[in-house]
């Protein structure tokens, strides 16, 4: 049974293989509490997306277990917890308007139709893209599209949010605004979040805890707690010190530490 203090997301001894021979993820253990923002930090190709795909039920593990709210994510029995998934690219349907893209997920999540207009307005407003309600996704900027995709993930009132490098394709200024906004949203309404990134600075700015992964196959190398109250400032000295310590720890281990982190 899950209690309010049980981990909301729990992964134990997880191993994943795409071809039945090589492991993409090996012996990963992780927990995310009911109101916790956990970042998963690892080099390119180490298995971060693979981990999220297992949690969203898209991929079966070769070994180990993964549960959300106490429910095995590979099981089809009973009602599945609602998962808000934000991908690296926005994945909006170009032949549907912004509002229609949200309607699709609201329908799939079983939200009653009479609640859709209010939900859509609320979440588009929250992500500051309400002016684009009836626009076609291709008419929006990259940042606006990613805001819509976050609104789409949150509009179903997800039990858990999984985010896979959501800002990595954006320019640095937009990415920084989006991180700030996501941090503010989380502070207003804490939800279990598992946030995958290869940006050390992004992880430190956003997370309560950071799991540092090894190069693939991913294992958890170390867990870092970021004990800095919200709202946080991007240039906060404590955050900068934690970032520097993480970079020092991984610089010889990862071959490709992002330039912003090693500068
Ligand atoms: N569909 C697939 N079929 C076979 N191998 C795959 C598949 N998807 C990923 N892999 C392999 O699994 C490993 C982990 O990939 P994954 O995409 O999870 O890494 P990642 O850490 O998310 O990378 P990035 O930061 O570059 O997005 C890599 O070696 C990759 O080549």
pLDDT digits (tens, 9 = 90+) for 87-105: 888 889 999 999 999 999 9
Q: What per-residue confidence (pLDDT) applies to 137?
A: 95
Is the CB of 95 inside a 6 Å radius of any atom of ligand 1? Answer: no
Calculate the average pLDDT of the chain: 90
Would you call 85 helix, strand, or coil by DSSP? strand
Whether 168 shows a pLDDT value over 60: the answer reads yes
Q: In what order do the strands lie in the sheet with 209-213?
A: 83-86, 160-164, 193-197, 37-41, 209-213, 220-225
CB-based contact 59:11 (threshold 8 Å): no
Residue 5 confidence (pLDDT): 61
Dig out the tokens for 240 from the structure. Answer: 């900068």
The pTM of this model reads 0.91
% helix, strand, coil for the chain, step of 5: 35, 20, 40
How much of the chain, in percent, has pLDDT values that exceed 70? 95
* pLDDT band with cut points at 50, 70 and 90 for residue 260: low
pLDDT band at 120 (very low <50, low <70, confident <90, very high): very high
Which residue's alpha carbon is at the smallest distance from atom 24 of ligand 1?
44
What is the DSSP-derived secondary structure letter of residue 137? G
This complex has an ipTM of 0.97
How confident is the model at residue 208, as a pLDDT? Answer: 96
Q: Of 152, 55, 150, nearest to 111 (Cα)? A: 152
Q: Is 50 in the pocket of ligand 1 (CB under 6 A)?
A: yes
pLDDT at 261: 45
> Is it the case that residue 230 has pLDDT exceeding 60?
yes
Residue nearest ligand 1's atom 18 by CA: 47
Q: Is the CB of 198 under 6 A from ligand 1?
A: yes
Spacing, Cα 217 to ligand 1 middle (Å): 10
Two tokens at 204? Answer: 């430190």
């Amino acid at each position: 049974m899950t209690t309010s203090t049980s981990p909301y997301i729990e992964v134990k001894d997880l191993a994943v293989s795409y071809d039945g021979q090589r492991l993409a993820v090996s012996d990963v253990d992780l927990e995310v509490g009911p109101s916790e923002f956990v970042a998963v930090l690892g080099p390119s190709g180490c298995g971060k997306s693979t981990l999220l795909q297992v949690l969203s039920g898209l991929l079966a593990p070769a070994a180990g277990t993964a549960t959300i709210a106490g429910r095995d994510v590979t099981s089809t029995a009973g009602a599945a917890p609602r998962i808000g998934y934000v991908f690296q690219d926005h994945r909006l349907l170009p032949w549907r308007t912004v509002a229609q893209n949200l309607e699709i997920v609201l329908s799939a999540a079983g939200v009653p139709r009479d609640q859709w207009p209010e939900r859509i307005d609320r979440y588009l407003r929250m992500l500051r893209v309400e002016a684009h309600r009836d626009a076609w996704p291709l008419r929006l900027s990259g940042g606006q599209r990613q805001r819509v995709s976050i609104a789409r993930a949150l509009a179903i009132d997800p039990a858990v949010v999984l985010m896979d490098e959501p800002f990595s394709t954006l320019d640095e200024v937009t990415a920084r605004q989006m991180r700030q906004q996501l941090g503010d949203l989380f502070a207003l309404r804490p939800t279990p979040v598992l946030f995958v990134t290869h940006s050390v600075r992004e992880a430190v700015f956003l997370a309560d805890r950071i799991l540092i992964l090894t190069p693939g196959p991913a294992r958890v190398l170390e867990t870092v707690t970021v004990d800095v109250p919200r709202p946080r400032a991007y240039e906060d000295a404590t955050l900068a010190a934690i970032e520097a310590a993480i970079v020092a720890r991984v610089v010889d281990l990862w071959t490709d530490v992002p330039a912003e982190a090693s500068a």
